[in-house]
Amino acid sequence: MHVVLISTYELGHQPFGLASPAAWLKGAGACVTCLDLAVRSFTPELVEDAGLVAFYVPMHTATRLAAAAIEQVRRVNSAAHLCCYGLYAPAGEPFLRRLGVQTILGGEFESGLVELYRRLVVDQADGRQKTEDEGLSTNDGAVSSSVVGLPSQLQPEPRISLAKQVFLTPERGGLPALAEYAHLELAHGDRRTAGYTEASRGCKHLCRHCPIVPVYGGRFRVVQREVVLEDVRRQVAAGARHITFGDPDFFNGPGHAIPLVRELHAEFPDLSYDVTIKVEHLLKHANLLPALRDTGCVLVTSAVEALDDAILERFDKRHTRADVVRAVGLLRDIGLALNPTFVAFTPWTTRQGYLDFLRSIWELDLVENVAPIQYAIRLLILAGSRLLELPEVRALVRPFEESALAYPWAHPDPCVDRLHCDVMRAVKLRRPRHDAYQAVWRLAEDALGASIRARAYHISTQRRPSRKPIPRLSEPWYC
């Protein structure tokens, strides 16, 4: 059976979520084609004979984009069994089912895809036998979707699997070259082709707003060290000079992470990498940060989310504004660049609070560290979100909107929602980070009114003395 795996968007990375299941499915005997719509156009011929078409949906944007691709596949091949797998598949299940998706796989999805493939092969063989027994012509052997598929409530594969898997080395041969994806930008115009891998999935923390929590529920799973190393070896051979570790938190298991990067550095001493680590872990494992620096880490992404303690408490982030200040100084002293991410617009963000947020970015000397899109991120409240535990959130949200894959909400102060729209338009313009910051600052001032402008404007117009350029990936962090 021909299986087509489709990714729509994964932050500019060559998708691990295609390469890993491709290896599993090929090992099970499938003929596998991978299509990354982030860098390739949809080609009808690729899916015409597919018995299974599976869409990788690791994030909100990817899931929204998958909806149009699902319709395209259905027009070309209505007999194909449709599957969505990845972090956002369970959250978007009702919407995806209505689009014709028959199987939903969340969590550790590779084994589920293999089980699904084997089931479809058996069903297809049974269908062929049945038509032969009835004396009917099967034409080219295609089986109708009513034979291949099962009603959604009878899906035998678990919707969410947290089973511990023994991973296979990802199969990247069918994907576009690494040069077509994001790259690392360093000082003096140095650009490094960036690869991508995962050393773990899930997270042992329960932040209320996080999409990982409804699926993993405070658990994480590791990818075996030798699998990660071999995946990196193959990407280095394909031209990678930098690796992004896509783990939700690289320090969920420091006993796994640190030996891994030490072995990686011993084999590839010139290879750089970046990781994601929560503020709490940066402080808890501060003694391990020099090991990251010394093994080639140049950038640490951290989901700071807010610089307001009341908002951080609602998110259950387990860090405070003071902790962020400590972490910023710690990384700067050690020589690791910080890439902070934020949820800048929440139901609790005020106009003054937003300006205070921008002032804090300036005072912490983070203007060049912050990708402009981070000034415009608005809180998504997903199905299963722990934010719904809060009575104030339940009172705020409107009924779940399936096509948006979220609970809609409006800010109590309409001026804040207007400010968000203005900031979003401003950050979409391509300009240097300081210039983007300055534009956003002016919008925040305007939202408060002219009375504050004379007092605050000088902050956004001054430039600090130049520091060593901050390493950054060419694809900014989004969702």
Give the Cα separation of 422 and 444 in Å (integer).
9
Quote the pLDDT of residue 463.
61
Give the Cα separation of 217 and 165 in Å (integer).
17
146 versus 364: the higher-pLDDT residue is: 364
Write down how long the chain is.
Answer: 479
- Residue 366: which residues within 8 A CB-CB, separation 6 or more? 328, 338, 340
131 versus 387: the higher-pLDDT residue is: 387
Quote the pLDDT of residue 140.
39
Residue 325 clears pLDDT 60, i.e. is over it: yes
List the structure tokens of 397: 């949200």
SS3 state at 460: helix
Residue 255 clears pLDDT 50, i.e. is over it: yes
Percent with pLDDT over 90 in the chain: 85
Spatial CA neighbour of 173 closest among 32, 6, 272, 327: 32
Give the Cα separation of 356 and 460 in Å (integer).
12
Give the Cα separation of 78 and 142 in Å (integer).
10
Beta strands in 162-261 (DSSP E): 183-185, 191-197, 200-202, 220-222, 242-245
Quote the pLDDT of residue 304.
98
Give the Cα separation of 39 and 20 in Å (integer).
19
Residue pair 443/376 in contact by the 8 Å Cβ criterion: no
Rg, Å, the chain Cα set: 24
Which tens digits make up the pLDDT trace of 88-142? 999 999 999 999 999 999 999 999 999 999 999 998 876 654 544 555 444 333 3
Please state the pTM of the whole predicted model: 0.91
User: pLDDT class for 338, splitting at 50, 70, 90?
Assistant: very high
Average pLDDT rounded to a whole number, residues 383-398: 96
Quote the pLDDT of residue 136.
44
Quote the pLDDT of residue 188.
76
Which tens digits make up the pLDDT trace of 185-211? 997 778 999 999 999 999 999 999 999
Angstrom CA distances, 53 to 33, 49, 82, 100, stand at 10, 10, 5, 12
Quote the pLDDT of residue 464.
61
Give the Cα separation of 223 and 233 in Å (integer).
15
Quote the pLDDT of residue 142.
33
Beginning with the edge strand found earlier in the chain, give each strand of the sheet holding 31-36 in spatial order: 31-36, 2-7, 52-56, 81-85, 103-107, 160-161
Residue 250 clears pLDDT 80, i.e. is over it: yes
List the structure tokens of 35: 């299509």
Give the Cα separation of 233 and 229 in Å (integer).
6
Residue 148 clears pLDDT 70, i.e. is over it: no
Mean pLDDT, rounded, of the chain: 91
Quote the pLDDT of residue 154.
72
Average pLDDT rounded to a whole number, residues 448-470: 61
Quote the pLDDT of residue 132.
46
Which tens digits make up the pLDDT trace of 45-68? 999 999 999 999 999 999 999 999
List the structure tokens of 457: 């404007």
Give the Cα separation of 434 and 149 in Å (integer).
53
Angstrom CA distances, 439 to 225, 299, 355, 358, 444, stand at 45, 26, 12, 11, 9
Phi–psi pair at 184, nearest 5 degrees: -90, 135
Residue pair 61/404 in contact by the 8 Å Cβ criterion: no
User: pLDDT class for 34, splitting at 50, 70, 90?
Assistant: very high
DSSP single-letter state for residue 398: P
Average pLDDT rounded to a whole number, residues 144-156: 50
SS3 state at 100: coil
Quick one: 277 exposed, middle or buried, by C-beta within 10 A (0-12, 13-18, 19+)? buried
